[in-house]
Chains A and B, each alone.
Chain A
């Protein structure tokens, strides 16, 4: 066990609050589990040294960064400022939406939350367990049956230098309810955070989800978004990654009810020595579910990208439609993209496809652009960026897309090619 984990466990053992049963179960699991090494399959390409080396130097100070205002994006803001969340704007919430800070909630709300938290996030995620043990300021968001929440909710995590923060949110979306949630992680200061969010979609609920994992530099980030879809539920998720000394994201999508639809577009753009690791697992446990997964990666300079995409189709999940498409672009000989699509199929009447390619520039498209007078270097840049931009175009929220696009463009322009 690493020194870092020992300290984390010691810290967790000192917390005695409403969440204590989950915390102690997590501590037990962590104590029994092996600390991942490069021999652990789920961590084969991602070294945990930045975690092992990390030392908290300050306590409970505020982050110096501010929440960014996004043009045309009106939202309900839930801000974790260095882990502290003091949402008290209940008055502004639309009908059908409730946001509870569980530390201050009544006993029955806490009891309900205790049963819900960690019911969707699988226990195999080491840092998910760390989050169970250490999360403070847990938040419960509930969308009532049939409610159509037209204003998106933004969860922002701001970090102070040398701080370590564990945020945790549970989102319960009622039958036929509709909501959009934007998880926004950013900052480049030396810090460590685990941010886990669980989403429970009831029958025919619709969730538009964004997780922008835009931490860079020395910000160590380990997190997860985990979804459970009841019958006819609809998930449209966009994941964006920038990469840092260590950025790891685990996504789980569980088709628990039939005829659910899950779409996930993920793209990462890595430069310098950045690392971004996405492990996405889709569980089709019942029949007639659909999954569309698109993952696109561009890695330049000495960056390292990891993608593990597992689709598990259980024996009873007949008539499943599942597609996993992964396209990658290496812009430098020193960059590295480790990709592993895994289809595991136990039902016999399903339609599944997966593909992972290291993309070559489309020669026809190159010639077409050149034939209009565009110089080849510029045409190449347009096509490479287009590779990512195609997924930005598919984002349902236009304001978010318009805000993200120039940032991606700027990042792309700085990428080091050799």
Chain B
């Protein structure tokens, strides 16, 4: 397998949380512009993958590597990974009262622009961009003034995550069950946000339980994660098959081949 032009290459990744092994030899190869969906039963390691890649404290890498656009990110601090182009849309975004959404977004954009050697964006220019991003994810502009996620509903938090993605313009976006808890309208807003960002030099990893989101965001590949590794890969039709049959048939044939 050649990694010459890969956006993200994960090799034999083993990771644990509180001394419990969760990822047990994960391999994944994502090229620029591709959308990969990761499905799998509860506890298979889907969220752990995002946390390990983004550097969440408490998630220990035991073996393996993850290279993002030529940079081995596992040795970096979380903020350095973000500046290298990684973005994780959280399943449960935290609330930070007292830090306004706008202040937070500006600080994030400033930090990333500085890391890329770009000029500081003026407050007024940024406000304009932020307002547009708000509109795009269908959040009232007043949400910029509120504390980060403070008192937001589940759906509003998810849309706020997508807004951050729109403003930060990462190279690789991991969406961790961004569809969970969303009604159909919010789901479409999220999907439109993602689709608007699809481009030949940006890739997506969509972690989801349900085929539903994939009706709106068409994946190039679908992988099934089970017990810490990918046990089956295929195209979009695999998701439909899983929807029909569940995961049980995969586990019985535990020697399922990996056709990456």
| Interface residues, chain A, with chain B CB atoms under 8 Å away | 362-365, 367-376, 378-379, 382-383, 385-391, 393
Complex: A21 Cα to B66 Cα, angstroms: 82
- Across-interface contacts of B54 in A (CB, < 8 A): 371
- Across-interface contacts of B99 in A (CB, < 8 A): 382-383, 385-386, 389
Q: How far is the CB of A332 from chain B (nearest CB, A)?
A: 21
Could you show 9 A-B contacts with beta carbons less than 8 Å apart?
A362-B94, A362-B96, A365-B96, A368-B90, A370-B79, A370-B82, A372-B79, A373-B108, A378-B107
Pick the contact of A372 from B82, B97, B103, B147 — CB < 8 Å? Answer: B82
- The verdict on B77 contacting chain A, using a C-beta distance below 8 Å, is yes
Of all chain B residues, the one with the shortest Cβ separation from A373 is B82
- The verdict on B168 contacting chain A, using a C-beta distance below 8 Å, is yes
Complex: A373 Cα to B106 Cα, angstroms: 11
- Across-interface contacts of A391 in B (CB, < 8 A): 98
Of all chain B residues, the one with the shortest Cβ separation from A391 is B98
Q: A363-B57, A378-B107, A390-B147 are in contact. Are A368 and B77 (CB under 8 A)?
A: no
Q: A368-B90, A372-B104 are in contact. Are A386 and B111 (CB under 8 A)?
A: no
| Interface residues, chain B, with chain A CB atoms under 8 Å away | 54-57, 77-79, 81-83, 87-88, 90, 93-94, 96-99, 103-104, 107-108, 111-112, 115, 147-148, 164, 168
Of all chain A residues, the one with the shortest Cβ separation from B90 is A368
Complex: A385 Cα to B107 Cα, angstroms: 14
Tell whether, in the assembled complex, residue B96 and residue A383 are in contact, meaning their CB atoms are under 8 Å apart. yes
Complex: A368 Cα to B104 Cα, angstroms: 11
| Most chain B beta-carbon contacts within 10 A, residue among A363, A364, A391 | A364
Complex: A364 Cα to B92 Cα, angstroms: 11
- Across-interface contacts of B82 in A (CB, < 8 A): 370-373
- Across-interface contacts of A379 in B (CB, < 8 A): 79
Of all chain A residues, the one with the shortest Cβ separation from B86 is A371
Of all chain B residues, the one with the shortest Cβ separation from A369 is B104
- Across-interface contacts of A390 in B (CB, < 8 A): 97-98, 147
Complex: A379 Cα to B55 Cα, angstroms: 16
Q: A372-B82, A373-B168, A390-B147 are in contact. Are A367 and B98 (CB under 8 A)?
A: no
A-B pairs with CB below 8 Å: how many? 85
Q: How far is the CB of B170 from chain A (nearest CB, A)?
A: 9
Q: How far is the CB of A71 from chain B (nearest CB, A)?
A: 17
Q: How far is the CB of A167 from chain B (nearest CB, A)?
A: 33
Tell whether, in the assembled complex, residue A370 and residue B94 are in contact, meaning their CB atoms are under 8 Å apart. no
Q: A383-B99, A385-B98, A391-B98 are in contact. List 7 more A-B contacts (CB 8 A).
A: A365-B96, A370-B82, A371-B88, A373-B83, A376-B77, A389-B98, A389-B99
Tell whether, in the assembled complex, residue B98 and residue A373 are in contact, meaning their CB atoms are under 8 Å apart. no
Of all chain A residues, the one with the shortest Cβ separation from B146 is A393
Q: How far is the CB of A298 from chain B (nearest CB, A)?
A: 12
Complex: A367 Cα to B81 Cα, angstroms: 12
Q: A370-B78, A373-B115, A378-B111 are in contact. Are A393 and B104 (CB under 8 A)?
A: no
Complex: A376 Cα to B77 Cα, angstroms: 9
Complex: A390 Cα to B146 Cα, angstroms: 10
Of all chain A residues, the one with the shortest Cβ separation from B105 is A372
Q: A382-B104, A382-B107, A393-B98 are in contact. Are A372 and B55 (CB under 8 A)?
A: no
Tell whether, in the assembled complex, residue B111 and residue A374 are in contact, meaning their CB atoms are under 8 Å apart. yes
Pick the contact of B147 from A363, A367, A368, A393 — CB < 8 Å? Answer: A393
Q: How far is the CB of A50 from chain B (nearest CB, A)?
A: 33
Q: How far is the CB of B161 from chain A (nearest CB, A)?
A: 10
- Across-interface contacts of A375 in B (CB, < 8 A): 79, 111
Tell whether, in the assembled complex, residue A372 and residue B164 are in contact, meaning their CB atoms are under 8 Å apart. yes
Pick the contact of A365 from B94, B103, B111 — CB < 8 Å? Answer: B94
Tell whether, in the assembled complex, residue A374 and residue B97 are in contact, meaning their CB atoms are under 8 Å apart. no
Q: How far is the CB of A244 from chain B (nearest CB, A)?
A: 26
Q: Rank and list the top 8 A-B pairs by shortest CB-CB distance, nearest first.
A: A386-B98, A390-B98, A373-B82, A372-B108, A370-B78, A386-B99, A389-B98, A373-B112
